[in-house]
Structure 1
Amino acid sequence: MASKKRIGLYFGTFNPIHIGHLTIANYMVEFSDLDEVWMVVTPHNPHKKKSTLLDDHHRLAMVRIALEDYPKLKASNIEFGLEQPNYTVNTLILLEEKHPDFDFCLIMGEDNLKSFHKWKNYEVILERYSLYVYPRVSQGTIETQFNNHPHIHKVNAPIMELSSTFIRKSIQEGKNIRPMLPETVWKYIDEMNFYK
Protein backbone atom coordinates (compact mmCIF):
# COMPACT_ATOMS: atom_id res chain seq x y z
CA MET A 1 0.00 0.00 0.00
CA ALA A 2 1.29 3.45 -0.92
CA SER A 3 2.20 5.61 2.04
CA LYS A 4 -0.17 8.43 2.95
CA LYS A 5 0.50 11.92 1.67
CA ARG A 6 2.03 13.98 4.48
CA ILE A 7 0.45 17.38 4.92
CA GLY A 8 2.02 20.03 7.14
CA LEU A 9 -0.49 22.45 8.68
CA TYR A 10 0.80 25.98 9.14
CA PHE A 11 -1.72 27.99 11.20
CA GLY A 12 -1.85 31.76 11.31
CA THR A 13 -3.99 34.87 11.01
CA PHE A 14 -1.78 35.86 8.03
CA ASN A 15 -2.67 39.51 8.57
CA PRO A 16 -1.07 39.90 6.04
CA ILE A 17 0.86 36.90 4.69
CA HIS A 18 4.47 37.98 4.06
CA ILE A 19 7.71 36.56 2.65
CA GLY A 20 8.63 35.18 6.09
CA HIS A 21 5.56 32.90 6.08
CA LEU A 22 6.21 31.93 2.48
CA THR A 23 9.88 31.15 3.11
CA ILE A 24 9.07 28.89 6.09
CA ALA A 25 6.22 27.07 4.29
CA ASN A 26 8.30 26.53 1.16
CA TYR A 27 11.34 25.40 3.17
CA MET A 28 9.21 22.86 5.03
CA VAL A 29 7.86 21.34 1.82
CA GLU A 30 11.23 21.30 0.02
CA PHE A 31 13.58 20.25 2.84
CA SER A 32 11.52 17.89 5.00
CA ASP A 33 9.45 14.80 4.20
CA LEU A 34 6.22 16.81 3.88
CA ASP A 35 4.44 16.50 0.52
CA GLU A 36 2.36 19.65 0.89
CA VAL A 37 1.92 22.53 3.33
CA TRP A 38 -1.55 23.92 3.97
CA MET A 39 -1.67 27.46 5.29
CA VAL A 40 -4.66 27.38 7.64
CA VAL A 41 -6.14 30.86 7.98
CA THR A 42 -7.39 31.37 11.53
CA PRO A 43 -10.76 33.14 11.61
CA HIS A 44 -11.44 36.18 13.72
CA ASN A 45 -12.48 35.18 17.22
CA PRO A 46 -15.86 36.91 17.78
CA HIS A 47 -15.12 37.13 21.51
CA LYS A 48 -12.01 39.21 20.95
CA LYS A 49 -11.77 42.87 20.08
CA LYS A 50 -11.58 43.29 16.30
CA SER A 51 -8.57 45.66 16.38
CA THR A 52 -6.45 45.43 13.22
CA LEU A 53 -7.55 42.02 11.99
CA LEU A 54 -8.85 42.16 8.41
CA ASP A 55 -11.96 40.20 7.50
CA ASP A 56 -11.44 36.47 7.13
CA HIS A 57 -12.14 36.45 3.38
CA HIS A 58 -9.56 39.18 2.67
CA ARG A 59 -6.84 37.33 4.58
CA LEU A 60 -7.74 34.08 2.80
CA ALA A 61 -7.70 35.86 -0.58
CA MET A 62 -4.19 37.20 0.13
CA VAL A 63 -2.95 33.72 1.10
CA ARG A 64 -4.46 32.25 -2.08
CA ILE A 65 -2.83 34.82 -4.38
CA ALA A 66 0.49 34.52 -2.54
CA LEU A 67 0.54 30.75 -3.18
CA GLU A 68 -0.47 30.80 -6.85
CA ASP A 69 3.05 29.95 -8.05
CA TYR A 70 3.67 27.27 -5.41
CA PRO A 71 1.77 24.06 -6.28
CA LYS A 72 2.88 22.29 -3.06
CA LEU A 73 1.45 25.10 -0.87
CA LYS A 74 -2.31 25.45 -0.39
CA ALA A 75 -4.63 27.87 1.39
CA SER A 76 -7.17 26.38 3.80
CA ASN A 77 -10.29 27.92 5.33
CA ILE A 78 -11.16 24.73 7.29
CA GLU A 79 -11.56 26.71 10.53
CA PHE A 80 -14.02 29.27 9.13
CA GLY A 81 -17.06 27.14 9.90
CA LEU A 82 -15.93 26.01 13.35
CA GLU A 83 -17.34 27.36 16.58
CA GLN A 84 -15.19 30.01 18.24
CA PRO A 85 -13.03 29.89 20.22
CA ASN A 86 -11.67 26.86 18.41
CA TYR A 87 -8.82 24.59 19.47
CA THR A 88 -6.24 23.03 17.15
CA VAL A 89 -7.17 19.53 18.32
CA ASN A 90 -10.72 20.04 16.89
CA THR A 91 -9.33 21.18 13.55
CA LEU A 92 -7.07 18.12 13.36
CA ILE A 93 -9.99 15.76 14.05
CA LEU A 94 -12.13 17.47 11.40
CA LEU A 95 -9.34 17.30 8.80
CA GLU A 96 -8.81 13.62 9.51
CA GLU A 97 -12.52 12.94 9.01
CA LYS A 98 -12.57 14.87 5.73
CA HIS A 99 -9.28 13.47 4.40
CA PRO A 100 -8.68 9.97 5.82
CA ASP A 101 -5.99 9.31 3.18
CA PHE A 102 -3.73 12.11 4.42
CA ASP A 103 -1.29 12.12 7.29
CA PHE A 104 -1.52 15.53 9.00
CA CYS A 105 1.34 17.17 10.90
CA LEU A 106 1.64 20.49 12.71
CA ILE A 107 4.15 23.16 11.77
CA MET A 108 5.08 25.56 14.55
CA GLY A 109 7.77 27.96 15.59
CA GLU A 110 10.05 27.17 18.51
CA ASP A 111 8.27 29.94 20.46
CA ASN A 112 5.01 27.95 20.22
CA LEU A 113 6.71 24.74 21.31
CA LYS A 114 7.77 26.53 24.51
CA SER A 115 4.10 27.06 25.42
CA PHE A 116 2.77 23.87 23.82
CA HIS A 117 2.19 22.23 27.22
CA LYS A 118 -0.53 24.85 27.81
CA TRP A 119 -2.49 23.87 24.69
CA LYS A 120 -5.82 22.09 25.07
CA ASN A 121 -5.25 18.30 24.76
CA TYR A 122 -1.59 18.77 23.84
CA GLU A 123 -0.83 15.18 24.96
CA VAL A 124 -3.39 13.83 22.47
CA ILE A 125 -1.94 16.00 19.69
CA LEU A 126 1.59 14.82 20.44
CA GLU A 127 0.57 11.19 20.65
CA ARG A 128 -1.26 11.22 17.29
CA TYR A 129 0.54 13.83 15.19
CA SER A 130 4.06 14.86 14.33
CA LEU A 131 5.27 18.39 15.01
CA TYR A 132 7.65 20.12 12.63
CA VAL A 133 9.38 22.91 14.51
CA TYR A 134 11.26 25.77 12.89
CA PRO A 135 13.67 28.07 14.79
CA ARG A 136 12.50 31.39 16.22
CA VAL A 137 14.33 33.91 18.36
CA SER A 138 12.30 33.84 21.57
CA GLN A 139 12.49 33.89 25.36
CA GLY A 140 11.93 30.92 27.64
CA THR A 141 12.84 27.27 27.48
CA ILE A 142 11.38 24.16 25.92
CA GLU A 143 9.81 21.71 28.41
CA THR A 144 12.12 18.71 28.95
CA GLN A 145 9.31 16.32 27.92
CA PHE A 146 9.59 17.75 24.38
CA ASN A 147 13.34 17.22 24.07
CA ASN A 148 14.21 14.22 21.86
CA HIS A 149 10.52 13.35 21.51
CA PRO A 150 10.00 10.94 18.56
CA HIS A 151 7.10 13.01 17.19
CA ILE A 152 8.93 16.35 17.30
CA HIS A 153 11.09 17.09 14.27
CA LYS A 154 13.30 20.16 14.32
CA VAL A 155 13.69 21.60 10.84
CA ASN A 156 16.60 23.95 10.38
CA ALA A 157 14.66 26.55 8.38
CA PRO A 158 15.99 30.11 8.09
CA ILE A 159 15.17 32.33 11.07
CA MET A 160 12.65 34.88 9.86
CA GLU A 161 12.32 37.90 12.11
CA LEU A 162 9.56 39.52 10.10
CA SER A 163 6.13 40.00 11.61
CA SER A 164 2.73 41.00 10.26
CA THR A 165 2.50 43.52 13.13
CA PHE A 166 5.67 45.24 11.89
CA ILE A 167 4.31 45.28 8.32
CA ARG A 168 0.95 46.77 9.37
CA LYS A 169 2.67 49.44 11.47
CA SER A 170 5.07 50.29 8.66
CA ILE A 171 2.22 50.66 6.12
CA GLN A 172 0.45 52.96 8.58
CA GLU A 173 3.62 55.06 8.79
CA GLY A 174 3.83 55.28 5.01
CA LYS A 175 6.99 53.16 4.69
CA ASN A 176 7.76 51.18 1.56
CA ILE A 177 7.64 47.54 2.65
CA ARG A 178 7.05 46.16 -0.84
CA PRO A 179 10.02 43.69 -0.77
CA MET A 180 8.62 42.08 2.41
CA LEU A 181 5.42 40.90 0.72
CA PRO A 182 4.71 38.70 -2.29
CA GLU A 183 4.13 41.15 -5.17
CA THR A 184 0.49 40.06 -5.64
CA VAL A 185 -0.23 40.60 -1.93
CA TRP A 186 1.40 44.03 -1.97
CA LYS A 187 -0.83 45.03 -4.91
CA TYR A 188 -3.95 43.72 -3.16
CA ILE A 189 -3.20 45.67 0.03
CA ASP A 190 -2.34 48.79 -1.95
CA GLU A 191 -5.48 48.65 -4.12
CA MET A 192 -7.75 47.94 -1.13
CA ASN A 193 -6.04 50.65 0.92
CA PHE A 194 -5.61 48.26 3.85
CA TYR A 195 -3.77 48.94 7.14
CA LYS A 196 -3.54 52.69 6.51
Structure 2
Amino acid sequence: MKRILSCLFVSTVLLTGCSSSSFRSALDSLNPSIPEAINQAVSSRVNAENELYTVGSASIGQTGSIIAQSKANKIASEALRTKIKAAVETNFKSYTLNMDSYSKNLVLPAIPELTSYTTDLVIKQVKQKGAWEDSNKVYSLLSVPTSEVTSTSQKVLKSFLINTSKKLEDLSRGI
Protein backbone atom coordinates (compact mmCIF):
# COMPACT_ATOMS: atom_id res chain seq x y z
CA MET A 1 0.00 0.00 0.00
CA LYS A 2 2.83 2.38 0.90
CA ARG A 3 4.57 1.59 -2.37
CA ILE A 4 1.43 2.33 -4.37
CA LEU A 5 0.87 5.61 -2.53
CA SER A 6 4.52 6.57 -3.04
CA CYS A 7 4.27 5.89 -6.78
CA LEU A 8 1.06 7.87 -7.00
CA PHE A 9 2.62 10.74 -5.06
CA VAL A 10 5.61 10.90 -7.41
CA SER A 11 3.42 10.72 -10.51
CA THR A 12 1.12 13.44 -9.15
CA VAL A 13 4.07 15.72 -8.45
CA LEU A 14 5.48 15.09 -11.91
CA LEU A 15 2.13 15.66 -13.63
CA THR A 16 1.49 18.81 -11.61
CA GLY A 17 4.94 20.13 -12.42
CA CYS A 18 4.59 19.40 -16.12
CA SER A 19 1.15 20.92 -16.37
CA SER A 20 2.12 24.20 -14.73
CA SER A 21 5.29 24.96 -16.68
CA SER A 22 3.72 27.68 -18.80
CA PHE A 23 3.23 29.98 -15.82
CA ARG A 24 3.32 33.29 -17.63
CA SER A 25 1.00 32.37 -20.48
CA ALA A 26 -1.48 30.74 -18.10
CA LEU A 27 -1.47 33.78 -15.82
CA ASP A 28 -1.89 36.18 -18.72
CA SER A 29 -4.73 34.21 -20.26
CA LEU A 30 -6.60 33.81 -16.97
CA ASN A 31 -6.12 37.40 -15.81
CA PRO A 32 -5.80 39.64 -18.85
CA SER A 33 -6.79 42.67 -16.77
CA ILE A 34 -3.75 42.38 -14.51
CA PRO A 35 -1.09 44.94 -15.43
CA GLU A 36 2.30 43.69 -16.59
CA ALA A 37 4.04 45.11 -13.50
CA ILE A 38 1.76 43.05 -11.25
CA ASN A 39 2.33 39.96 -13.43
CA GLN A 40 6.08 40.40 -13.02
CA ALA A 41 5.73 40.82 -9.26
CA VAL A 42 3.58 37.68 -9.10
CA SER A 43 6.06 35.65 -11.13
CA SER A 44 8.86 36.69 -8.79
CA ARG A 45 6.94 35.61 -5.68
CA VAL A 46 5.56 32.21 -6.66
CA ASN A 47 7.08 29.02 -7.92
CA ALA A 48 4.52 27.71 -10.40
CA GLU A 49 6.13 24.27 -10.29
CA ASN A 50 5.57 23.88 -6.54
CA GLU A 51 2.60 26.07 -5.67
CA LEU A 52 -1.05 26.54 -6.50
CA TYR A 53 -1.74 30.26 -6.63
CA THR A 54 -4.21 32.84 -7.79
CA VAL A 55 -4.49 36.59 -8.01
CA GLY A 56 -7.70 38.32 -7.03
CA SER A 57 -8.50 41.91 -7.84
CA ALA A 58 -11.14 44.40 -6.79
CA SER A 59 -11.88 47.96 -7.77
CA ILE A 60 -11.28 50.67 -5.23
CA GLY A 61 -14.64 52.25 -4.71
CA GLN A 62 -15.87 54.90 -2.36
CA THR A 63 -15.30 52.53 0.56
CA GLY A 64 -11.55 52.69 0.02
CA SER A 65 -8.62 50.38 -0.45
CA ILE A 66 -9.07 48.42 2.79
CA ILE A 67 -12.48 47.14 1.72
CA ALA A 68 -11.19 46.55 -1.82
CA GLN A 69 -8.29 44.51 -0.40
CA SER A 70 -10.74 42.40 1.55
CA LYS A 71 -12.78 41.80 -1.61
CA ALA A 72 -9.63 40.92 -3.59
CA ASN A 73 -8.62 38.44 -0.87
CA LYS A 74 -12.07 36.85 -0.96
CA ILE A 75 -12.04 36.57 -4.76
CA ALA A 76 -8.54 35.07 -4.73
CA SER A 77 -9.49 32.68 -1.94
CA GLU A 78 -12.56 31.42 -3.81
CA ALA A 79 -10.54 30.92 -7.00
CA LEU A 80 -7.77 29.13 -5.11
CA ARG A 81 -10.34 26.92 -3.37
CA THR A 82 -11.51 25.78 -6.82
CA LYS A 83 -7.93 24.95 -7.85
CA ILE A 84 -7.27 23.11 -4.59
CA LYS A 85 -10.47 21.11 -4.93
CA ALA A 86 -9.51 20.07 -8.48
CA ALA A 87 -6.03 19.02 -7.32
CA VAL A 88 -7.47 17.03 -4.40
CA GLU A 89 -9.95 15.29 -6.73
CA THR A 90 -7.08 14.39 -9.05
CA ASN A 91 -5.08 13.01 -6.12
CA PHE A 92 -7.98 10.88 -4.90
CA LYS A 93 -8.69 9.56 -8.40
CA SER A 94 -5.04 8.61 -8.84
CA TYR A 95 -5.02 6.84 -5.45
CA THR A 96 -8.01 4.71 -6.47
CA LEU A 97 -6.58 3.63 -9.84
CA ASN A 98 -4.95 0.47 -8.51
CA MET A 99 -7.72 -0.49 -6.10
CA ASP A 100 -9.72 -3.63 -6.63
CA SER A 101 -13.41 -3.20 -7.40
CA TYR A 102 -14.53 -4.07 -3.85
CA SER A 103 -12.26 -1.41 -2.34
CA LYS A 104 -13.36 1.12 -4.94
CA ASN A 105 -17.00 0.45 -4.04
CA LEU A 106 -16.17 1.33 -0.44
CA VAL A 107 -14.06 4.41 -1.22
CA LEU A 108 -15.68 6.09 -4.24
CA PRO A 109 -18.96 7.06 -2.51
CA ALA A 110 -16.94 8.89 0.15
CA ILE A 111 -14.71 10.80 -2.28
CA PRO A 112 -16.93 13.93 -2.57
CA GLU A 113 -17.06 14.33 1.21
CA LEU A 114 -13.35 13.56 1.59
CA THR A 115 -12.58 16.08 -1.14
CA SER A 116 -14.58 18.79 0.60
CA TYR A 117 -12.95 18.02 3.95
CA THR A 118 -9.44 17.95 2.48
CA THR A 119 -10.05 21.22 0.62
CA ASP A 120 -11.14 22.84 3.88
CA LEU A 121 -7.96 21.63 5.60
CA VAL A 122 -5.68 22.83 2.80
CA ILE A 123 -7.35 26.24 2.50
CA LYS A 124 -6.28 26.89 6.11
CA GLN A 125 -2.65 26.64 4.94
CA VAL A 126 -3.01 29.34 2.26
CA LYS A 127 -0.63 32.27 2.57
CA GLN A 128 -0.87 35.73 1.10
CA LYS A 129 2.32 36.26 -0.87
CA GLY A 130 1.65 39.75 -2.10
CA ALA A 131 -0.74 42.66 -2.33
CA TRP A 132 -0.55 45.55 -4.76
CA GLU A 133 -2.51 48.66 -5.53
CA ASP A 134 -2.68 50.79 -8.65
CA SER A 135 -4.79 53.83 -9.40
CA ASN A 136 -8.15 52.05 -9.35
CA LYS A 137 -7.63 48.41 -8.29
CA VAL A 138 -6.18 46.32 -5.51
CA TYR A 139 -4.59 42.92 -6.19
CA SER A 140 -3.98 40.02 -3.84
CA LEU A 141 -1.78 36.96 -4.44
CA LEU A 142 -2.60 33.81 -2.47
CA SER A 143 -0.76 30.50 -2.70
CA VAL A 144 -0.34 27.10 -1.12
CA PRO A 145 2.40 24.53 -1.77
CA THR A 146 1.32 21.60 -3.94
CA SER A 147 3.12 19.36 -1.44
CA GLU A 148 0.61 20.51 1.19
CA VAL A 149 -2.26 19.50 -1.08
CA THR A 150 -0.71 16.09 -1.75
CA SER A 151 0.25 15.31 1.85
CA THR A 152 -3.14 16.39 3.21
CA SER A 153 -4.90 14.30 0.55
CA GLN A 154 -2.83 11.28 1.55
CA LYS A 155 -3.44 11.79 5.28
CA VAL A 156 -7.20 12.15 4.86
CA LEU A 157 -7.51 9.09 2.62
CA LYS A 158 -5.28 6.99 4.87
CA SER A 159 -7.32 8.01 7.90
CA PHE A 160 -10.54 7.11 6.09
CA LEU A 161 -9.16 3.73 5.05
CA ILE A 162 -7.93 2.94 8.57
CA ASN A 163 -11.28 3.92 10.12
CA THR A 164 -13.23 1.92 7.53
CA SER A 165 -10.99 -1.09 8.06
CA LYS A 166 -11.51 -0.93 11.83
CA LYS A 167 -15.28 -0.71 11.39
CA LEU A 168 -15.26 -3.73 9.08
CA GLU A 169 -13.13 -5.68 11.56
CA ASP A 170 -15.56 -4.82 14.36
CA LEU A 171 -18.45 -5.99 12.18
CA SER A 172 -16.72 -9.27 11.38
CA ARG A 173 -16.07 -9.93 15.08
CA GLY A 174 -19.76 -9.48 15.80
CA ILE A 175 -20.81 -12.15 13.31
Name the TM-score class by shorter chain.
Answer: under 0.3
Q: Which has the higher helix share?
A: 2
Larger radius of gyration between Structure 1 and Structure 2: 2
Higher RCO (CA-CA < 8 Å; seq separation 6+): 2
TM-score (norm 1): 0.23
TM-score (norm 2): 0.25
